[in-house]
Amino acid sequence: MFEKLKIVELAMYLPLPYTGAFFANFGAHVIKIEHPEGDPLKKLDLKIYQTLNKKKQVKYIDIKDDKNKALLIDILKDADILLNGFKPNFLKRYNLDYEAINNINPSLIYISLYAYEKNTPLENIAGHDLNFVSLSGIIGSSKIALKPFNFQMADMAGALWSIIGSLYMLEKRRKTGKGGKLDLSLFRSSLTFFPFFYFSEEKGEIQNGILYGDYACYGIYKCKDSKYIAVGSLEPKFFKKLFKLLKINFDEDKLYSKREQRYLKNLLKEKFATQTRDYWTDFFKNEDICITPVLEKNETLNLLKHWLKEENIENFLLFPFEDN
């Protein structure tokens, strides 16, 4: 698909390396430029580093050294996309900013993914996933314990928008014949993952907690074996059927009454506590009412192996589609 693309990746850790991995997986020639000491991700988690970079050509170049910098410039002369993960103006110190490279290669698409949006008070401040999510309002407004997520939400948001931005710029270049630059930020990218959070009505059902665990129809319940079952039966037809299947008497007119939710949640809590998670999973397996078990990592991996009938599930986990 992207066999004719040459992409240069000047980035570390997760976000842009995932963007580079996406293009490499679909045929692009991706050259990852690392400092001689290597990407710090190697020490943080070697397996993740190898997964993201196995299809790339890795070159170790110290851009602070003029002789080595010349090697990078030579690589960029016929590149299609540069993925820049450094702070604003960092590469300008070494004449590797967009304006300088554009003079060498006017066709180059220059994608920069910063921590925070340019032209804001935080534009030159470092940040990590937790910082971006904390500023988003998501953690502060949640009903769960205030602690870091165990997944990289902002990193993946930035990675995906960098892919989208690259494709947008490639199409723009196809129409205009010229390269260009696109500035993105991890903070702003993370905001796009929660549009309903910001636009929900002050007294609407979402703001009142229907999606945040305040309603019985949408929550997680502990089972007899201390494992959990997830109930996502938002729609009335699903919620009513759930109560009928569990043989719990209910008043249809009060299912979504804010005042009745504690009572309804306790009814479900008591019922699910009578049997194991696997019992309930089997109980609901032929009922299409949005009930699923809460799995741990290894259980999810085993499930995918069963579905896919093969041991190698790496691409299935990394990318949401195959090139058929």
For 236-253, the pLDDT digits (tens) are 999 999 999 999 988 888
204 domain residue, yes or no: no
pLDDT band at 16 (very low <50, low <70, confident <90, very high): very high
- Give yes or no: residues 121 and 172 share one domain: yes
pLDDT over 70 (residue 142): no
Query: 160 and 16 share a domain?
Result: yes
Quickly state the pLDDT bin for 66 (edges 50, 70, 90): confident
Q: How many domains, in total, are found in the chain?
A: 2
| pLDDT value at residue 266 | 96
Mean pLDDT across the chain: 91
The reply to whether 160 and 55 lie within a common domain is yes
How sure is the predictor about 306, in pLDDT bands with cuts at 50, 70 and 90? confident
The pLDDT, as a whole number, for residue 169 is 97
226 has a pLDDT exceeding 70: yes
Average pLDDT over residues 41-56: 94
Q: What percent of the chain has pLDDT over 90?
A: 68
For residue 324, pLDDT beyond 70: no
Same domain for 224 and 119: no
Give this prediction's pTM: 0.89
Higher pLDDT, 120 or 272: 272
74 with 180, same domain?
Answer: yes
Q: Are residues 185 and 273 in the same domain?
A: no
- Closest residue by Cα to residue 238 from 305, 163, 291, 309: 291
CATH code of the domain in which 62 resides? 3.40.50.10540
- Asked which of 174, 191, 208 is the last residue of a domain, the reply is 191
Assigned domain for 105 exists: yes
* Residue 100: exposure state from Cβ atoms within 10 A (0-12, 13-18, ≥19): middle
Average pLDDT over residues 280-296: 95
Q: Is the pLDDT of residue 285 over 90?
A: yes
For residues 71-78, average pLDDT: 95
Q: Does 309 score more than 90 pLDDT?
A: no
Residues 112 and 76 in one domain: yes
Residues 31, 168 share a domain: yes
* Residue 199 confidence class, pLDDT cut points 50, 70, 90: confident
50 pLDDT more than 80? yes
pLDDT in tens, 157-175: 999 999 999 999 999 999 9
Residues 134 and 262 both lie in one domain: no
User: What is the pLDDT averaged over residues 103-108?
Assistant: 96
What's the rounded Cα separation, in Å, for the pair 99 and 249? 70
Residues 84 and 169 in one domain: yes
pLDDT, mean of residues 214-226: 94
| 114, pLDDT greater than 90 | yes
Residue 10 lies inside a defined structural domain of this protein: yes
